[in-house]
């Protein structure tokens, strides 16, 4: 059966480019959705098998809309992630030239990331805000076009039959965005040894040691966190939960035991998936933290409980 | 001498409203700046004594631009904070009525927060993205106006001589934004007993226990954190620092000792200010964590070191 | 089959009194052994089913001989404990009177604990050291008796047909000794809810955090220790192990998980038994540490691993 | 002025040998006292400047009498320590030979430590308990001698004009005893960089995390413990304090801060001295724990509190 996949649209966004770069999108029907909420609600409603949405930008930090959409409402889980370098291009209608550009539209974030290039190459140009980079590109097809050029990614040129006047125009060449593929809960992605697990942790009480308690549950099992953020629960001002990414898969013995420890310590936990890391980086396991160590300890305990001398 | 204060503009933004609500803006010259960067760079350059910028939104989370601008470049410190309920109004030129609104402009974030109200009260209206809510309001003065109405805050109606067609139109009435007043380093704001301190903590190494080590420095002195975020350092992908807010003032004995502990444990620390909490909430001190307890312990140690029986 | 039980002799010691006070000695054959080593080696060799030996005195602290004998050599486990108030009596041959006592023999420890009473009631008496309190009592039967009286416990008067000249003569009335019944490994004593577990923990390395690591394994599962001692391993000077008693039974879920954690962290562990506390005191369980909490967490983890929404 | 020093007597004990081995005993008047209590009370009363008493044996563990005498009553502090190999000799009156020994007296602990040698070299000999090894040696001078030989240390042969029939007869050649020189509180011994500090720590409450709290105070400052023992307070059964030795001197910055932390956390602390280690072993300091690191952190904090950019 053909997979139905949504992405944060419109056509030509970074999200579409990221989705196309994933092997699992081969042969699937890809559909743009105007917002993260619309894309994820479509998955919840069964209209899509999965949706690709941005979750973190190396410059901007976490994408709040995604974190929050995943965290509240019907459960969804992350099953894949991918990171894409942020690469902006200046697009115009065929036949245009750099010299003729007097106005350029793009999303304010993109404008901010290309400000240096614009100042050097398009002095005096008028910057026009758009709802998204792809929307700016699409608007160039209107007649008459409301502005001369758009900053978007190269894929948008293909999608809308536009011309790339300049490529790689972001001021910071190392910026990248991480995207996650989200679906309804089901069988976990197979453990690869280089995995990540995403959780939302709600505390029982806001005391000086609450976060320390949580982190001790991880540290005592030798689990490293790659991201942690306190985020407002939106219920009461000053009431927080923790959004964390950890190194490991729910099927790792050490992660399983830590999860059970958190379950006993936290008021509530939302599991947002175990999935292969985009960078294939395997964690350096400390002594006593491998599955073999856990299996050995379990067998040893069983012997002691049986009354065998050990 | 008249204080010169910048705020995130243009005129009529939430930032201006927040600044006006602060006693310290009385009698000052207030100047809008187009971006957080411009406002803070103006402070660094000495053009302003201070600047007011948003730092956290109860719906969107932290404002990355502000966190990052504070964290890199010439040192700046926070000296005051204020939290303002997010309150959106529908503005139009004088004489307009709700029935005549076919297009409405605003910042995409604002549009997202009023989507429910729009669907109920302006079905079929065309939404137009703007660089900011205040910019949308200002554009209504153009001739002809590029759209019929703007979603902005009520202050913008005063600033631009507009009419409020509807007030309090945000879907979530509890949303609020926290703003900080930022200046060049100088004498710390006086300790009030209900203070907050903001830090950036850079780790020596990314090992399983690094964050635990940091938190232990706080916990062992009974200090509670109100916010923690791992943020990319932008130097190497996957290299993080921690942005934290803690309960207490640098002049509190327990905070001072924790700071010295962090100094010994961290690769680098940036101090971003101790300032009165906007909510006036004093922390519940655990046993042995008051200034008196610290003073007593210091005196006791001196006696022991002097060889007195204690 | 009649149980064969050894105790630290000779006949009439506190150990014999303690053994007689245990229900499990009813109908058993009781045999004195001259030393803790002899008693425990007899159990190891199968000559006895169990042996009762002292392990801790409220005045003297731990009984090193017992801790060490349990800790090295063929495995043995504690299956019961009992605490007995230390109660000394002044014994003499029938017909003697207090006024005629010019010399009194006893173990040096006992002499130390009755020194105040002796000074007040037997001024000028000559104190003679004996290998044990019971041995001093027994020697009164020699002809001629080598001294006039012995300080021992009242049981010795029965055993040797002596007269109690004065009872309760210890200076500290609250002193007590704890004894343990030791046998070869076998089925663990049934869990009562008010249990204790004894362990020897050998560290991997002697670093600043080694002991903290061990204690964290307990604390993270809400387990309280009632005794901890660093003891020389006798292999290298300055090389230590930890002898600990903890609240709980090996069959408690929290104790089992802590044991597995210690197994992964320690170089070596010797399990010395789970047994009912002599004082019947049940631990106050913190939130999330009961068997039900562990069972709930295990089931929850299984659901997540199965891909169910939770 | 001539120093007046007491030691645990009688003349010829290990304690006397240990005291003679200390440079500080040169030229002093040395006086035996029959018990640890008598020796320490003599110091308290001003009869002695200091007293040498045993505190730990590599075979027997801590000497309870010493720990407890130091811990309660008028304050005393340890100013020096020394460790001596435990070396037993078989002593007899001049002219005796090994073949003629039918009875041998010694302290029960010494008898236990030479049992193997006795069984091999004096089969069938009668063992007679004595109050101390030196007392057994001294009794050989009585006429007639109550037994043929004594097990004591070689010094006793000199003291009492006896003959050494056999030397080095202990079964375990590696056994050693540690002694401490104790005086009234006064100026602390100078810091050498290879020091030890002894403390008694009384907890506020007996909860699962109390000991962890204490150890965290040490660990967070990188301080290693070389000994820890929970000991009964003798006030209430089951009420414990912790007796600890730590690596470092009260004048070390890290030890001072830990002490202040403990002062804030514990119900009560008794300081029992900082003194040079007998083995001259300097601790391996972790990063951030040297006096320089503490001084740097203090200066840095002062700058921040003064409002300087750092």
Q: What is the pLDDT of residues B245-297, one digit of tens each?
A: 999 999 999 999 999 999 999 999 999 999 999 999 998 888 899 999 999 99
Q: What is the dihedral of CA B231, B235, B237, B241, to 10 degrees?
A: -30
Alpha-carbon gap: C158 to the closest alpha carbon of chain D (Å): 24
Q: What is the pLDDT of residues B188-222, one digit of tens each?
A: 999 999 999 999 999 876 666 788 889 999 999 99
Distances (CA, A) of A123 to A101, A166, B130: 10, 15, 22
Say what the pLDDT of residue D60 is.
Answer: 66
| Residues of chain B neighbouring A223 (CB-CB closer than 8 A) | 208
Q: What is the pLDDT of residues D150-193, one digit of tens each?
A: 999 999 999 999 999 999 999 887 788 899 999 999 999 999 99
Burial classification of residue A187, based on how many CB atoms lie within 10 Å of its CB (0-12 exposed, 13-18 middle, 19 or more buried): exposed
d(CA A30, CA A52): 10
D124 close contact with B: CB closer than 8 A? no
Please tell me which of the candidates D256, D265, D297 has its beta carbon nearest to residue B301: D256
Alpha-carbon gap: C199 to the closest alpha carbon of chain A (Å): 12
A285 close contact with B: CB closer than 8 A? no
- Dihedral sign, CA of D35, D40, D45, D48? positive
Please tell me which of the candidates B216, B251, B305 has its beta carbon nearest to residue D220: B216
CA D38 to chain centre: 16
Say what the pLDDT of residue B192 is.
Answer: 97
Q: Are residues B187 and D289, on separate chains, in Cβ contact within 8 Å? A: no
- Measured between CA atoms, the residue of chain B closest to residue D184 is B309
Alpha-carbon gap: D186 to the closest alpha carbon of chain B (Å): 4
Distances (CA, A) of A173 to A87, A117, A197: 8, 12, 28
Mean pLDDT of A304-309: 88
Say what the pLDDT of residue A35 is.
Answer: 84
Number of H helices, E strands in chain D: 10, 15
Say what the pLDDT of residue C59 is.
Answer: 67
Instruction: Name residue A92's beta-bridge partners.
Output: A149, A163
d(CA B130, CA B139): 9
Confidence tier at C172 by pLDDT (50, 70, 90): confident
C72 close contact with A: CB closer than 8 A? no
| Closest-CA residue to B101 (of B114, B83, B82) | B114
CA neighbours within 13 Å on the CB side: how many for B92?
18
B27 close contact with D: CB closer than 8 A? no
Phi, psi of C20 (to 5 degrees): -65, -30
Q: Where are the domains of chain D?
A: 1-84+176-186, 89-167, 187-310
Say what the pLDDT of residue A207 is.
Answer: 63
Say what the pLDDT of residue D235 is.
Answer: 61
- Measured between CA atoms, the residue of chain A closest to residue C188 is A307
Percentage of residues in chain B with pLDDT exceeding 90?
71
d(CA C77, CA C226): 18
Q: Are residues A216 and B212, on separate chains, in Cβ contact within 8 Å? A: yes
Mean pLDDT of A174-188: 92
Q: What is the pLDDT of residues D220-250, one digit of tens each?
A: 999 999 889 888 776 655 678 899 999 999 9
Alpha-carbon gap: A4 to the closest alpha carbon of chain C (Å): 21
Alpha-carbon gap: A205 to the closest alpha carbon of chain C (Å): 12
Say what the pLDDT of residue D59 is.
Answer: 67
Mean pLDDT of D6-25: 94
For testing contact with chain D, the best of C61, C238, C279 (most D CBs within 10 A): C61
For C91, residues 6+ apart whose C-beta sits below 8 A from its C-beta are C137, C140, C149, C150, C151, C152, C156, C157, C160, C162, C163, C164, C165
DSSP letters spanning chain C:
---EEEEESSTTSHHHHHHHTSGGGTT-EEEEESSHHHHHHHHHTTS-SEEEEEEEETTTEE-HHHHHHHHSSS--EEEEEEEEE---EEEE-TT--GGG--EEEE-HHHHHHTHHHHHHHSTTPEEEE-SSHHHHHHHTTSSS-SSSEEEE-HHHHHHHT-EEEEE---S-TT-EEEEEEEE-S-SPPPP-SSEEEEEEEE-S---TTHHHHHHHHHHTTTPPEEEEEEEE-SSSTT-EEEEEEEES-TTSHHHHHHHHHHHHHSSEEEEEEEEE-TT-PPP-PPTT-SHHHHHHHHHHHHHHHTT---
Q: Are residues B230 and A227, on separate chains, in Cβ contact within 8 Å? A: yes
Q: Topology of domain A187-310, per CATH?
A: Alpha-Beta Plaits (3.30.70)
Say what the pLDDT of residue A262 is.
Answer: 96
Structure tokens, D172: 């375990």
d(CA C58, CA C226): 13
Q: Are residues A61 and B60, on separate chains, in Cβ contact within 8 Å? A: no
| Residues of chain C neighbouring A287 (CB-CB closer than 8 A) | 204, 264
The residue length of chain A stands at 310
**Is C53 or B229 the better-scoring residue by pLDDT?**
C53
> Do the beta carbons of residue A33 and residue A8 sit within 8 Å?
yes
A217 close contact with C: CB closer than 8 A? yes
Q: What is the pLDDT of residues C203-237, one digit of tens each?
A: 876 666 788 889 999 999 999 998 898 887 766 55
**Chains that contact C by 3+ CB pairs under 8 Å?**
A, D
Q: What is the pLDDT of residues C87-101, one digit of tens each?
A: 999 999 999 999 999
Q: Are residues C187 and A216, on separate chains, in Cβ contact within 8 Å? A: no
For testing contact with chain A, the best of C197, C304, C306 (most A CBs within 10 A): C304
- The DSSP bridge pattern shows strands C29-33 and C4-8 to be parallel
For D271, residues 6+ apart whose C-beta sits below 8 A from its C-beta are B304, B310, D77, D197, D199, D250, D259
Average pLDDT in chain B? 91
Which 130-159 residues of chain B touch chain D by CB within 8 A? none
| Residues of chain B neighbouring A240 (CB-CB closer than 8 A) | 226-227
D257 close contact with B: CB closer than 8 A? yes
Percentage of residues in chain A with pLDDT exceeding 90?
71
Say what the pLDDT of residue A151 is.
Answer: 97
Same fold, D1-84+176-186 and D187-310: no
Please tell me which of the candidates C68, C112, C209 has its beta carbon nearest to residue D219: C209
B220 close contact with D: CB closer than 8 A? yes
Say what the pLDDT of residue D176 is.
Answer: 85
- Measured between CA atoms, the residue of chain D closest to residue B292 is D264
Structure tokens, A216: 């001790």
**At which residue do the structure tokens 């899509």 appear?**
A48
Average pLDDT in chain A? 91
| Closest-CA residue to C276 (of C1, C22, C40) | C22
A72 close contact with C: CB closer than 8 A? no
Q: Are residues D216 and B216, on separate chains, in Cβ contact within 8 Å? A: yes
**Chains that contact B by 3+ CB pairs under 8 Å?**
A, D
Please tell me which of the candidates C59, C208, C229 has its beta carbon nearest to residue D222: C208
Q: Which of B139-143, C283-287, D134-138 has the lowest mean pLDDT?
A: C283-287
d(CA A256, CA C39): 45
Percentage of residues in chain B with pLDDT exceeding 70?
96
Say what the pLDDT of residue D233 is.
Answer: 75
| Residues of chain C neighbouring A304 (CB-CB closer than 8 A) | 250, 259, 271
Say what the pLDDT of residue B129 is.
Answer: 83
Say what the pLDDT of residue D106 is.
Answer: 92
| Residues of chain D neighbouring C83 (CB-CB closer than 8 A) | 237
For A45, residues 6+ apart whose C-beta sits below 8 A from its C-beta are none
Q: What is the pLDDT of residues B155-168, one digit of tens each?
A: 999 999 999 999 99
Structure tokens, B285: 């001190």
ipTM: 0.89
| Closest-CA residue to D13 (of D127, D92, D80, D110) | D110
Q: Topology of domain D1-84+176-186, per CATH?
A: D-Maltodextrin-Binding Protein; domain 2 (3.40.190)
What architecture does CATH give domain C1-85+176-186?
A: 3-Layer(aba) Sandwich (3.40)
Q: Are residues C112 and D232, on separate chains, in Cβ contact within 8 Å? A: no
D193 close contact with C: CB closer than 8 A? no
| Residues of chain B neighbouring D259 (CB-CB closer than 8 A) | 297, 301, 304
B82 close contact with A: CB closer than 8 A? no
| Residues of chain C neighbouring A308 (CB-CB closer than 8 A) | 185
> Do the beta carbons of residue B171 and residue B116 sit within 8 Å?
yes
Please tell me which of the candidates A217, A250, A288 has its beta carbon nearest to residue C305: A250
> Do the beta carbons of residue B14 and residue B23 sit within 8 Å?
no
d(CA D128, CA D105): 4
What strands, in cross-sheet order, belong to the sheet with D163-167? Answer: D126-129, D103-106, D149-152, D89-92, D163-167
Mean pLDDT of A20-39: 93
Q: Which helix (H) or strand (E) holds D154?
A: helix D154-160
Say what the pLDDT of residue D108 is.
Answer: 77
Say what the pLDDT of residue B236 is.
Answer: 56
C-D interface: how many C-beta pairs under 8 angstroms? 108
Confidence tier at B57 by pLDDT (50, 70, 90): confident
Q: Which CATH class is domain B1-85+174-186?
A: alpha beta
Q: Are residues B228 and A229, on separate chains, in Cβ contact within 8 Å? A: yes
Alpha-carbon gap: B40 to the closest alpha carbon of chain D (Å): 16
d(CA D217, CA D242): 14
Q: Are residues B234 and A206, on separate chains, in Cβ contact within 8 Å? A: no
Alpha-carbon gap: B157 to the closest alpha carbon of chain A (Å): 22
> Do the beta carbons of residue B177 and residue B54 sit within 8 Å?
yes
CA A244 to chain centre: 13
Q: Are residues C297 and A220, on separate chains, in Cβ contact within 8 Å? A: no
| Residues of chain A neighbouring C184 (CB-CB closer than 8 A) | 309
Alpha-carbon gap: C152 to the closest alpha carbon of chain A (Å): 38
**Residue A22 in this model has a pLDDT that exceeds 70:** yes
Say what the pLDDT of residue A236 is.
Answer: 56
**Residue D85 in this model has a pLDDT that exceeds 80:** yes
Say what the pLDDT of residue A257 is.
Answer: 97
**Residue B103 in this model has a pLDDT that exceeds 90:** yes
Structure tokens, D104: 């041998």
A222: left (phi over 0), alpha (psi -120 to 50) or beta: left
Q: What is the dihedral of CA B76, B81, B85, B88, to 10 degrees?
A: -30
Average pLDDT in chain C? 91
Say what the pLDDT of residue D290 is.
Answer: 95
Q: Are residues B223 and A208, on separate chains, in Cβ contact within 8 Å? A: yes
> Do the beta carbons of residue A89 and residue A152 sit within 8 Å?
yes
Mean pLDDT of C35-58: 93
**Is A227 or C109 the better-scoring residue by pLDDT?**
A227
Mean pLDDT of C116-121: 93
CATH number for the domain whose boundaries are B89-167: 3.40.190.10
Q: What is the pLDDT of residues A47-83, one digit of tens each?
A: 999 999 999 877 667 777 788 889 888 999 999 999 9
> Do the beta carbons of residue C88 and residue C166 sit within 8 Å?
no
CA neighbours within 13 Å on the CB side: how many for D54?
23
Alpha-carbon gap: D182 to the closest alpha carbon of chain B (Å): 14
Q: Are residues A310 and C261, on separate chains, in Cβ contact within 8 Å? A: no
**Residue A205 in this model has a pLDDT that exceeds 80:** no
The residue length of chain D stands at 310
Mean pLDDT of B87-95: 95
- Measured between CA atoms, the residue of chain D closest to residue C241 is D227
Alpha-carbon gap: A123 to the closest alpha carbon of chain B (Å): 18
> Do the beta carbons of residue C121 and residue C112 sit within 8 Å?
no
Say what the pLDDT of residue D203 is.
Answer: 85
Percentage of residues in chain D with pLDDT exceeding 90?
70
Say what the pLDDT of residue A126 is.
Answer: 92
């Amino acid at each position: 059966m053909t997979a139905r996949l949504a992405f944060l649209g419109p056509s030509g966004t970074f999200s579409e480019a990221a989705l196309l770069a994933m092997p699992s999108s081969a042969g699937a029907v890809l559909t743009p959705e105007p917002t993260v909420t619309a894309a994820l609600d479509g998955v919840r409603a069964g209209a899509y098998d999965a949706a690709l949405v941005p979750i973190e930008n190396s410059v901007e930090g976490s994408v709040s809309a995604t974190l929050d959409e995943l965290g509240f409402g019907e459960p969804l889980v992350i099953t894949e992630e991918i990171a894409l370098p942020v690469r902006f291009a200046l697009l115009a209608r065929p036949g245009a030239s750099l010299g003729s550009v007097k106005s350029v539209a793009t999303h304010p974030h993109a404008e901010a990331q290309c400000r240096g290039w614009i100042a050097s190459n398009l002095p005096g140009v008028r910057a026009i805000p758009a709802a998204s980079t792809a929307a700016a590109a699409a608007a160039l097809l209107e007649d008459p076009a409301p502005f001369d050029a758009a900053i978007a990614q190269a894929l948008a040129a293909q999608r809308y039959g536009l011309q790339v006047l300049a490529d790689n125009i972001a001021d910071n060449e190392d910026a990248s965005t991480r995207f996650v593929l989200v679906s309804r809960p089901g069988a976990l992605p197979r453990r690869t040894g280089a995995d990540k697990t995403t959780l939302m942790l709600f505390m029982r009480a806001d005391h000086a040691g609450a976060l320390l308690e949580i982190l001790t549950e991880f540290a005592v099992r030798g689990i490293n966190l790659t991201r942690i953020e306190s985020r407002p629960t939106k219920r009461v001002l000053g009431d927080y939960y923790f959004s964390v990414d950890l190194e490991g898969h729910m099927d790792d013995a050490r992660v399983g035991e830590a999860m059970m420890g958190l379950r006993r310590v936290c008021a509530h936990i939302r599991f947002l998936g175990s999935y292969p890391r985009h960078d294939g980086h395997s964690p350096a396991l400390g002594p006593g933290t491998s599955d073999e160590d856990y299996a050995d300890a379990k067998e040893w305990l069983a012997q002691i409980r049986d009354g065998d001398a050990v």
